Structure 1
């Protein structure tokens, strides 16, 4: 029997896929962001939908895990689907991320970093300051969806470059 390393297996994979849910939480203080520990990139709180889990429940769970806050969903903002080229993807394989974006509101809890997690430093960032951050494209997509609330739930692809990361 032959065993393949992770790299060998990924090179055989044509494309990986992830379904995730993200929360756009706005207040007088700005937008709630979290910092990805491995990359120091700022992003919206959220994460992968577990098998059998509803994305609606995912966003509430992820906000609690990553920020310490209890939140409620106010509305569905939209869905973003993007393909990350092999040469830019962390996995080494072309990757499709489908993100479901919700407008959320904090209703309790206390801000704290994720316990033993991949994110740190939950912070309220003034929206005007987000452009100067090294950030995930998810931040721009979520803010655009929140600002425009398109009937289709879709915004044009956010160009990735400069301070914006996939």
Structure 2
């Protein structure tokens, strides 16, 4: 009886340590994506299993915020704050800035404890559309870029 209690206590004390090393904390931009995915001016896309396996990804979320009056200012402020917070912990940063405004960004986040790399792509176009793409997977930066930019051959039609 005592042996089972001690074993249970040991297991319970080890599990939180293991979970902390394997799970990466959520990025601020991922929280923004989840917050605004149902907004009236938002287009939210979550990739399905087939596409995720094509890119060796474990998840991929895309959010586009379309310009629509007062809502966009609050959303833009939240996106800007989240980007500023996340860029401080990014491993690789590539940014395009024009006239003091961030127009495009590519960030990579990696953890020493995990083989999963997280990527964040950001775009702000001249029409006022904000796009955030969050991808997590085992691919390295060069592999991911090559897979995204290389056109796929068309899938044969089923009979």
**TM-score when scaled to structure 1?**
0.27
More helix by share: 2
Larger radius of gyration: 2
Q: Which has the higher contact order (CA 8 A, sep 6+)?
A: 1
More strand by share: 1
